[in-house]
Amino acid sequence: MPTKKVINILCYNETPSSLETFEYLKIKLPKLGYIVAETFDYNAELIISIGGDGSFLRALHKHNLPDIPIVGINTGNLGFFSETTPKGIDDFLEKYITGDYFIEEIHPIKAKICTKNKCIETEGINEIVVKANKSRTIHLSISVNDHLIQNFSGDGILIASSIGSTAYNYSAGGSIVDPSLEVLQITPLAPINSNAYRSFTSSVILPSNTIIKVNPEYRYEDSILLVNDGTEHYHTGITEISFKLSDRKIKLLRLKDFNFWTRVISKFL
């Protein structure tokens, strides 16, 4: 028997454009021989995310970063992850059916958060931010491959992936990195650089095999806010947080005419 061609359509906002696009695809895809999954199918051949970048990230996190190619249809604002718009759906589907696309694989950031009693793990696609749980200066010891590189003081630090270099990282003054380069980037948030405190004032870019360790300097700073792709998580009793690139891969479907720097110019300049 032929394999069923199943597609997951995910729509996480209620804008008229998103809902119209969702309904259009529910009618269009079966006419092309595809089955639209009623509930998320982990054996599907494709995920279509409708919305903006926030919807795209929520789609991946909600389903535990599934090993299925994903494509975005932008009905939001920036739409950096998206590959097409509602007006371009028919053209996209034609190219998808004919195989006129490629898969870009990216590694999320893996964080291990340890207290005296346990460790938990989480993954971020764009970035993971470390801040104090209140609006005050935080003091952190930052090590790279077990070598202390600085005692940071400021609002916090941001650990970005290559694909996330154009997100919060860019707004915070970090460098834009071509996603073909697998790196980790540490970007300081409002660093203090004075006679009392010395911190890097620019981002630091590190190779893919790097392990970054962050330790609170003072006892009262063991209650920390981690912001994972925009979602806040509070942790107490933290002794250490380590970051590295995950072994998992996220599969972004790109049309063959996709060019990262053309996308950057069109979105930011």
Q: Specify the CATH number for the domain of residue 99.
A: 3.40.50.10330
State whether 240 and 113 are in the same domain. Answer: yes
CA distance 119 to 44: 33
CA distance 249 to 105: 6
Low-confidence winner among 96-105, 213-222, 238-247 (lowest mean pLDDT) = 213-222
State whether 83 and 113 are in the same domain. Answer: no
Please give the helix or strand (H or E) that residue 1 lies within, else none.
Answer: none
- The DSSP secondary-structure symbol of 145 reads T
Residue 206 belongs to some domain of the structure? yes
State whether 88 and 169 are in the same domain. Answer: no
The per-residue pLDDT for 3 is 60
Q: Specify the CATH number for the domain of residue 123.
A: 2.60.200.30
**Percent of the chain predicted with pLDDT > 90:** 84
State whether 205 and 255 are in the same domain. Answer: no
Q: Residue 77: pLDDT band by 50, 70, 90 thresholds?
A: confident
pLDDT surpassing 60 at residue 2: no
Residue 133 belongs to some domain of the structure? yes
State whether 227 and 100 are in the same domain. Answer: no
State whether 179 and 67 are in the same domain. Answer: no
Full domain range(s) for residue 83 = 6-106+249-268
Q: Which of 41, 53, 67, 155 is catalytic?
A: 53
pLDDT in tens, 86-110: 999 999 999 999 999 999 999 999 9
State whether 133 and 99 are in the same domain. Answer: no
Catalytic residue list contains 146:
no
State whether 129 and 192 are in the same domain. Answer: yes
State whether 64 and 185 are in the same domain. Answer: no
State whether 113 and 219 are in the same domain. Answer: yes
State whether 119 and 173 are in the same domain. Answer: yes
Domain count, the chain: 2
Residue 1 belongs to some domain of the structure? no
Of 125, 113, 121, give the one whose Cα is nearest residue 179: 125
Of 107, 108, 109, give the one whose Cα is nearest residue 214: 109
Task: Give how far Cα 36 sits from Cα of 24, 25, 118, 233, Å.
Answer: 12, 9, 41, 33
How much is the pTM? 0.93
- How many CB atoms within 10 Å of residue 85? 15
Residue 35 belongs to some domain of the structure? yes
State whether 56 and 162 are in the same domain. Answer: no
